[in-house]
Amino acid sequence: MKKRGRIKFHKVKTWQLLVILIPLLFVDATLLRMDHVRMTEMRDAVLAADEENNDEVVAQKLEELKKFVFSNIVINVVDDNGEQRVIFGTGPFYLEHQYIRAANAALEEAEKNVAVDGNPNGNIYAAASEVCRAQAIANGWTWDNPNFINCMMSEIQKYPAADELSNSIVASLPSTELYRKNFASPIWAPSLTGWMILITLVIIVVIIIRAFIWMILRLSLLFL
């Protein structure tokens, strides 16, 4: 049976392989597009859960996104300093709202620590909070707006002997890298897309080999 299969394959003409190749390329492009769209939808679901302040759903959606990207071929185009670059994976994205919630928690903890503040300016955190809350109302900032955090840090720095408090707040603020996500996908995966691409590559290699052999034979006939 193996021998018969090999004989039948050898009888397939190169032009027939080209005819098969054209729709296969279209199918490959369609499947890759579908995987990219699915990744985008799952990533948007993560960001939507982050915006809704639901950390439990964020963790769940992140895990689903990671499993999908790790088991599929996901081609993506990202902006790298103004240049478009093709990568395999999600590209970097940020859980901005989760970071802001953690940063605000650190600020609230700092407020508790300086509730009874003995420096000459009194409770400098409370003074900064009063100024920034007024700005938040005037500018329509919500409590989790990053402008509020920046305002607090700026106001605290205006007071003498604020270095210790400022350093304490900066040290307690979480690193932004903890909220930066970037999942890379494999170049090839045993998915439907992966197997279709593999079949396409095999046909392309066969066509190239046949074309090379044909050229060698033509050149050899010229010198006979």
Looking at residue 214, its pLDDT comes to 84
Looking at residue 113, its pLDDT comes to 61
Looking at residue 168, its pLDDT comes to 58
**Amino acid (one-letter) located at 115:** A
Same domain, 113 and 144: yes
- Cα angle at 132 between 128 and 137, to 5 degrees? 150
Q: Look at the chain and report how many structural domains it folds into.
A: 2
Same domain, 57 and 111: no
Same domain, 45 and 75: yes
Same domain, 8 and 79: yes
Same domain, 8 and 86: yes
Least confident of 5-19, 57-71, 171-185, 191-205: 5-19
The residue among 61 and 155 whose pLDDT is bigger is 61
This prediction has a pTM of 0.69
Q: Return the exposure string of 29-63: e unless at least 16 CB atoms fall within 10 Å of the residue's CB, then b.
A: eebbeebbeebeebbebbbebbeeeeeeebeebbe
Same domain, 88 and 7: yes
Looking at residue 5, its pLDDT comes to 46
Measured in degrees and rounded to the nearest 5, phi and psi for residue 75 equal: -100, 135
Q: Using alpha carbons, select from 182, 218, 171, 201 the residue that is nearest to residue 25.
A: 201
Mean pLDDT of all residues in 74-80: 86
Tell me the pLDDT band of 61, cut-offs 50, 70 and 90: very high
DSSP letter at 119 equals S
Tell me whether residue 151 is exposed, middle or buried, using C-beta atoms within 10 angstroms of its C-beta: 0 to 12, 13 to 18, 19 or more. Answer: buried
Please determine, for residue 10, whether its predicted confidence score (pLDDT) is greater than 70. no
75 forms beta bridges with 88
- Contact 123/117 with Cβ under 8 angstroms? yes
Please determine, for residue 60, whether its predicted confidence score (pLDDT) is greater than 90. yes
Same domain, 14 and 88: yes
Instruction: Tell me which residue range forms the domain holding 112.
Output: 99-178
Same domain, 150 and 77: no
Same domain, 125 and 144: yes
Same domain, 192 and 159: no
Q: Which residue has the tokens 């027939």?
A: 16
Same domain, 88 and 188: yes
Please determine, for residue 78, whether its predicted confidence score (pLDDT) is greater than 80. yes
Mean pLDDT of all residues in 21-32: 94
Would you give the end-to-end CA distance of the chain in angstroms?
39
Same domain, 123 and 193: no
Tens of pLDDT, residue by residue over 188-203, are 999 999 999 999 999 9
How many Cα atoms within 13 Å fall on the side-chain side of residue 43? 19
